[in-house]
C-alpha cells in the first residue's frame, strides 16, 4: 500500500501538503530525518503515515515521544477513531491499564505507542524495547517537540537529554525528530544532542502569511490592549501573554471590567482551575485567555483571532511560537505587541541576574538583541522574522511597517546629547543615575535632586530642551536595545534595587556620530493619525 493510499484511506485526506510526501517517503523507507515545520503545517502525519506503512510491512511498532499528556491523549484518541492501533503510556494510567498496554505492545498489536520522555528512559521501559528490538519489531522512533532537548530552545526539558539512549542502544532503528521552532543554534543543538548528524534535514517555510504583525510603542499597555481588542477583535477569541502571574490576574480582571470576557491562566493556579479555563477557552467562542507562557503548547484551537503580548518575550523563537497560535485556520489573524523602555530594562536585567554561566548569558543576550532589533525595526517585520529562521523574503504588505510605513526622525543628535549627559553626570558625581534624572538634566529641569548634585551647572544641562520626553525615551530605549547603553542595578539600603544608566563600549560610536540613530516618529496622543498608527 502506498503512502498516498494510507493518507487517503486511513486519514481521509486527498493529498499531502508541502514537504509531507517527501518526508513520509524518506522516513517510511527507514531514513533518519529532522523536520522543521511551523505549527499547524502537519507534522504529525510525517510520522503517523510512515508508522502505518512500516507496521504493515512487518517492521513493528513506532514509539512516539511527546512531552505533553493532553496532546498524547488527543492524538491517540484521533488515531483510534481512524481505526489505527495506538496507545499511550504515561502517569495517567493505573498499574493494570499500563500492564495491559505493555502486553499488547509485546504481542505486536500496536502500530503506535506514545510515551513521555521520562518514561522512555526508565529501565522497565527500556527492557520492553530490548525485547521488541531483539525480535526486529521496533519500526521507528518519532521525537516530537524536539527543541525540548536544547537549552537554547524556549522550552528546555532535561528529560529529553536522556533520549540519546535510543540511538545508542538501538542504532539501526530509524528516527524522525520534529519541531516547530529552531533557529540555527537550536537546530545545531538538536542535531548534536540527538546524534542526528546523518539525518536528512527538512525545513519548511516558517511564513504564516495570514498573520499580521504589529508592534506598538507601549504607553499604557492596558488601555492600548483594550482599544485594540474593542476595535479589531470584539467578541473574538484571543490570547494575551504577560510576564508575571500577578499581571495575568490583574489584566484578566481589567478586561472583564471592560466587557471583554477573559480568563486567567498561569502555573500558580490550581490544576483544576487551569484545566477548567483551558476547556472553556477551547469550547466556547470569543473568550480571551490572559496567560503566562505556561499556556499554549499543544493547544490546537483553530480560530484564535489574535495573540497579544503586553510584555516582551525572551527571544524571537518564543515570539514566533506564541504568535503562531493565532490563525491556525488560515483566516486573517493579528499578532500584536506593545513594547517599551521598561521591557528592555527588565529583560536585560533578568539575564544579568540569572545564575547562568557567562557564555550562556552571552547567548541569551544575543537572542534578546535579535528580538529587540525586530521590535525597533522600521522595515518589514516579516522579512526580519523569517530572516531569523534563515529564510529570505520580500516585504509582506501585511505588517504594520508595510501597511503604514512609519515616518522616522534622525535621533543621532539627541542620542549624543543623552550619552554625553550620562557621561558628565557620572564624571561629576562619581556615581550613575537613573533615566528620570538624566532626562531632567537634559531637558533643563532644576529639580531638588538636580540641584542637590549641582547638575544644573553642567554644560549639558538643558541642551535637550527641544526634544519631548517621549522622544528622548524612545532614544533611550533604542540605545538600550542596541547595546549602546546599559542598565546597572544599584542595591539600595532598603534591599530593593534601582536601575542606573551606564555607557558601554558601543556608546563611543554613537557619541562620535559614527553610528546613526533612526527612530520612528513618536505619536502624540491627540493626533488622529497617530492613534491609527498606534494600533
Ligand atoms: P503540527 O503538529 O505541525 O502543528 P498537525 O499535525 O497537528 O500540525 O496538523 C495540523 C492540522 O492540519 C491537523 O488538523 C491535520 O489533520 C491537518 N493536516 C495535516 N496534513 C494534512 C493534509 N495533507 N491534508 C489535510 N489536512 C492536513
Ligand atoms: Zn511587512
The predicted pLDDT at position 104 comes to: 96
Residues facing residue 486 across a β-bridge: 502
- pLDDT above 70 covers a percentage of the chain that reads 97
CA of 117 to the centre of ligand 2 (A): 39
CA of 350 to the centre of ligand 2 (A): 30
Pocket of ligand 1 (CB under 6 A): 13, 16-17, 20, 37, 39-45
- pLDDT above 90 covers a percentage of the chain that reads 74
Query: Residue written as cell 504568535?
Result: 323
How many other β-carbons are positioned within 10 Å of the β-carbon of residue 419?
A: 23
The predicted pLDDT at position 368 comes to: 92
ipTM of this complex prediction, to 2 decimal places: 0.98
Residue 382's alpha-carbon distances to 65, 209, 325, in angstroms, are: 32, 9, 16
pTM equals 0.80
Which residue is closest in CA terms to ligand 1's atom 17?
42
The predicted pLDDT at position 528 comes to: 36
The predicted pLDDT at position 119 comes to: 93
pLDDT surpassing 60 at residue 534: no
The predicted pLDDT at position 522 comes to: 64
Residue whose C-alpha is closest to residue 209's, from 401, 396, 404, 19? 396
pLDDT surpassing 70 at residue 531: no
Residue 377's alpha-carbon distances to 346, 382, 413, 479, 482, in angstroms, are: 20, 11, 19, 13, 11
Q: What is the pLDDT of residues 306-356, one digit of tens each?
A: 999 999 999 998 999 999 999 988 899 999 999 998 899 899 889 988 888
Which residues, including other chains, have CB under 8 Å from residue 165's CB and lie 6 or more apart? 121, 126
CA of 12 to the centre of ligand 1 (A): 12
**Ordered DSSP codes for 192-210:** HHTT-TTSEEEE-----TT
Atom of ligand 1 nearest to the CA of 17: 23
The Cα 204–Cα 291 span in angstroms is 29
Ligand sitting nearest the alpha carbon of 13: 1
Amino acid at each position: 500500500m502506498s503512502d498516498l493510499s494510507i493518507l487517503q484511506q486511513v486519514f481521509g485526506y486527498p493529498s499531502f501538503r508541502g514537504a509531507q510526501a517527501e518526508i513520509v517517503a524518506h522516513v517510511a523507507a527507514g531514513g533518519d530525518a529532522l523536520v522543521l515545520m511551523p505549527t499547524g503545517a502537519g507534522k504529525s502525519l510525517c510520522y503517523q503515515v510512515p508508522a502505518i506503512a512500516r507496521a504493515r510491512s512487518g517492521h513493528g511498532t513506532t514509539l512516539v515521544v511527546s512531552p505533553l499528556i493532553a496532546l498524547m491523549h488527543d492524538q491517540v484518541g484521533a488515531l483510534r477513531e481512524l481505526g489505527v492501533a495506538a496507545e499511550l503510556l504515561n502517569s495517567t494510567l493505573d498499574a493494570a491499564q499500563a500492564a495491559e498496554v505493555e502486553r499488547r505492545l509485546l504481542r505486536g498489536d500496536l502500530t503506535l505507542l506514545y510515551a513521555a520522555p521520562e518514561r522512555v528512559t526508565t529501565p522497565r521501559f527500556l527492557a520492553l524495547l530490548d525485547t521488541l528490538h531483539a525480535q526486529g519489531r521496533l519500526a521507528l522512533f518519532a521525537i516530537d517537540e524536539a527543541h525540548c532537548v536544547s537549552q537554547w530552545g524556549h522550552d528546555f526539558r532535561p528529560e529529553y537529554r536522556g533520549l540519546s539512549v535510543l540511538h545508542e542502544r538501538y542504532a539501526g532503528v530509524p528516527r524522525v525528530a520534529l519541531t516547530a521552532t529552531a533557529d540555527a543554534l537550536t537546530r545545531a543543538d538538536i542535531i548534536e544532542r540527538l546524534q542526528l548528524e546523518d539525518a536528512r534535514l527538512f525545513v519548511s517555510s516558517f511564513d504564516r502569511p495570514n498573520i499580521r504583525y504589529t508592534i506598538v510603542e507601549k504607553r499604557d499597555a492596558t488601555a492600548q490592549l483594550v482599544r485594540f481588542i474593542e476595535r479589531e477583535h470584539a467578541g473574538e477569541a484571543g490570547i494575551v501573554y504577560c510576564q508575571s502571574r500577578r499581571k495575568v490576574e490583574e489584566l484578566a480582571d481589567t478586561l472583564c471590567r471592560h466587557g471583554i470576557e477573559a480568563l486567567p491562566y498561569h502555573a500558580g493556579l490550581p490544576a483544576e482551575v487551569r484545566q477548567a479555563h483551558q476547556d472553556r477557552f477551547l469550547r466556547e467562542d470569543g473568550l480571551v485567555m490572559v496567560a503566562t507562557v505556561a499556556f499554549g503548547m499543544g493547544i490546537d484551537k483553530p480560530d484564535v483571532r489574535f495573540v497579544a503580548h503586553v510584555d516582551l518575550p525572551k527571544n524571537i523563537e518564543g515570539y514566533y511560537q506564541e504568535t503562531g497560535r493565532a490563525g491556525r485556520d488560515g483566516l486573517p489573524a493579528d499578532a500584536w505587541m506593545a513594547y517599551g523602555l521598561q521591557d528592555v530594562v527588565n529583560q536585560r536585567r533578568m539575564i544579568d541576574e540569572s545564575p547562568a554561566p557567562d557564555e550562556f548569558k552571552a547567548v541569551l543576550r544575543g537572542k534578546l538583541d535579535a528580538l529587540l532589533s525586530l521590535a525597533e525595526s522600521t522595515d518589514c517585520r516579516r522579512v526580519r522574522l523569517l530572516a531569523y529562521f534563515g529564510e529570505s523574503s520580500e516585504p509582506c504588505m501585511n505588517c504594520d511597517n508595510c501597511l503604514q510605513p512609519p515616518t522616522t526622525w534622525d535621533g543621532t543628535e539627541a542620542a549624543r546629547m543623552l550619552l554625553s549627559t550620562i557621561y558628565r553626570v557620572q564624571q561629576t558625581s562619581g556615581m550613575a543615575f537613573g533615566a528620570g534624572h538624566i532626562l531632567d538634566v537634559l531637558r533643563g529641569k532644576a529639580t531638588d535632586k538636580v540641584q542637590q548634585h549641582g547638575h544644573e551647572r553642567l554644560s549639558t544641562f538643558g541642551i535637550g530642551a527641544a526634544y519631548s520626553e517621549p522622544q528622548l525615551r524612545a532614544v533611550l530605549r533604542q540605545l538600550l536595545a542596541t547595546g549602546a547603553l546599559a542598565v546597572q542595578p544599584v542595591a539600595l539600603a532598603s534591599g530593593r534595587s534601582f536601575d542606573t544608566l551606564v555607557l558601554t563600549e558601543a556608546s563611543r560610536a554613537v557619541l562620535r556620530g559614527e553610528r546613526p540613530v533612526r527612530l520612528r516618529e513618536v505619536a502624540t496622543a491627540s493626533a488622529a493619525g497617530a492613534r491609527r498608527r498606534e494600533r
